[in-house]
Amino acid sequence: MLDIKITKTTAPKAKPTDESKLGFGKIFSDHMFVMEYDKGQGWHDPRIEPYHPFELSPASSVLHYAQEVFEGMKAYRSADGKILMFRPDCNAKRFNDSCDRLCIPTIPEEDFIQACKTLVELEKDWVPYAKDTSLYIRPFVFAADDGLGVHAAHHYIFCIIVAPSGAYYAEGLAPVRIYVEDEYIRTAPGLTGFAKCGGNYAASIKSGELAQQLGYSQVLWLDGIEHKYVEEVGAMNIFFKIDGKIYTAACTGTVLPGVTRRSVIELCKDMGYEVIEGKIAVEDIGKAGEEGRLEEVFGTGTAAVISPVKELRYKGKDLKIGDGSIGELSQKLYDTLTDIQWGRTPDTKGWVVTVCEA
């Protein structure tokens, strides 16, 4: 149990009034959680302070060597007046798996969850009210040694900030076009693909920008060795429905193990679908598409929940999926999952955690 010292702001900000213009991660609340680590001392001084910039040495290790890890989750305002979180235990565990890979000291899962819940409860008035809006929670940790030596740092800062965020889809689920990247790679076996670390994103921005210039919203990554098997999309896992069966890449080290991904797999199995986690060749997807057997493609992630895909571009050819509208399963998964997350349906899975009364 952390002994969290709370210092409240004396200058609270005005909360956004137009919740249709929140966007994502642009506005932050009044407070932040901070905790520090020093070698020999462990994690210390857990506290909530007024939201403020960090003062860092220009030689801080994270700025040079990117020893950093983050998480992404949401707090939801339920119709019956509660603030909810979705499977925070999964994020706490994944955070530590990421930390372990980046040589960052781990944080006990119960402390990670306590820190998130305490901050969210303090900021509960920042959880927006409009349909499909939420308070995005961004925990992160970074190396803050003052010096340029390359080694695991001795000093770390763990921080949580929260951002009221808008409905991802303003007008219903909008299918997207995806660019299959066959030149650059995101990761490879032995690298950091399974870790949620900033470095993975740094390496992927160039492809994302190129795809956007061509009119595609995100990149679909292929495996780093043969450039043959589909892995995941930008910040989402990806699923294919072929001949009534559901396929997604296995989490064997190169794919980020999404919380939405594992929830969707469970829901699909509940609905009676066969779910195959394995190696899926991009050529086989193209073939299934040409033969009319590719029924649906969708991404999964905390931000969008479900993101239907209407088109894949691979080696100069556009593969259209269905008639370009949202697949039946995509819509059903979106409805089922968001009903659970926003507390509109009883949680028979034990996935929802109540933070506080709203």
Ligand X SMILES: *Cc1c(COP(=O)(O)O)cnc(C)c1O
Least distance CB 60 / ligand X (angstroms): 23
How distant is the alpha carbon of residue 266 from its chain centre? 18
Do 141 and 181 meet the contact criterion of CB atoms below 8 Å apart? Answer: no
Range in contact with ligand X (rule: CB under 6 A) among 126-134, 240-248, 284-292, 296-304 = 296-304
By CB under 6 A, tell whether 133 contacts ligand X: no
Least distance CB 181 / ligand X (angstroms): 13
Least distance CB 192 / ligand X (angstroms): 11
Q: Which amino acid is at 103?
A: C
By CB under 6 A, tell whether 260 contacts ligand X: yes
Nearer CB in complex with ligand X: 13/269:
269
Range in contact with ligand X (rule: CB under 6 A) among 75-83, 205-213, 253-261, 329-337 = 253-261
Range in contact with ligand X (rule: CB under 6 A) among 39-47, 77-85, 162-170, 259-267 = 259-267
Residue 263 CB coordination number (10 Å): 22
Question: Could you say which residues in the range 21-40 bind ligand X, by CB under 6 A?
Answer: none
Question: Which one of residues 237, 248, 254, 336 is an interface residue with ligand X (CB under 6 A)?
Answer: 237
Residues β-bridged to residue 299: 238, 307
The stretches of 271-351 forming alpha helices (DSSP H) are 282-290, 328-341
H or E stretch at 295: strand 294-301
Residue with tokens 């009883």: 346
Which of 202, 226, 238, 223 lies closest to 63 in space, CA to CA? 202
Nearer CB in complex with ligand X: 86/314:
86
Q: By three-state DSSP, how is residue 226 classified?
A: coil
Nearer CB in complex with ligand X: 248/260:
260
The DSSP output letter for 281 is: B
Least distance CB 260 / ligand X (angstroms): 3
Which of 92, 68, 57 lies closest to 152 in space, CA to CA? 68
Least distance CB 97 / ligand X (angstroms): 12
Q: Which amino acid is at 150?
A: V
Which of 206, 121, 169, 150 lies closest to 338 in space, CA to CA? 169
Question: Which one of residues 256, 294, 337, 355 is an interface residue with ligand X (CB under 6 A)?
Answer: 256
Nearer CB in complex with ligand X: 232/296:
232
Question: Which one of residues 177, 261, 310, 313 is an interface residue with ligand X (CB under 6 A)?
Answer: 261
- Pairwise CA distance, residues 32 & 116, whole Å: 10
Site string for ligand X, 300-319 (x = CB under 6 A): xxx-----------------
Residue 246's φ and ψ, nearest 5 degrees, are -105, 130
Nearer CB in complex with ligand X: 232/295:
232
Nearer CB in complex with ligand X: 143/259:
259
By CB under 6 A, tell whether 259 contacts ligand X: yes
Least distance CB 204 / ligand X (angstroms): 8
Residues β-bridged to residue 165: 134
Range in contact with ligand X (rule: CB under 6 A) among 257-265, 271-279, 308-316, 318-326 = 257-265
Question: Could you say which residues in the range 175-234 bind ligand X, by CB under 6 A?
Answer: 196, 232
Do 279 and 145 meet the contact criterion of CB atoms below 8 Å apart? Answer: no
Least distance CB 50 / ligand X (angstroms): 28
Q: Which amino acid is at 323?
A: D
Question: Which one of residues 16, 25, 72, 253 is an interface residue with ligand X (CB under 6 A)?
Answer: 72
Provide DSSP, 144-187: --BS---S--SEEEEEEEEEEE--S-BTB---EEEEEESSS-S-
Count of residues near ligand X by CB under 6 A: 14
Distances (CA, A) of 139 to 34, 86, 326: 10, 15, 32
Q: Which residue is nearest to ligand X (CB)?
A: 258
Provide the binding-site residues for ligand X, judged by CB under 6 A.
72, 196, 232, 235-237, 256, 258-261, 300-302
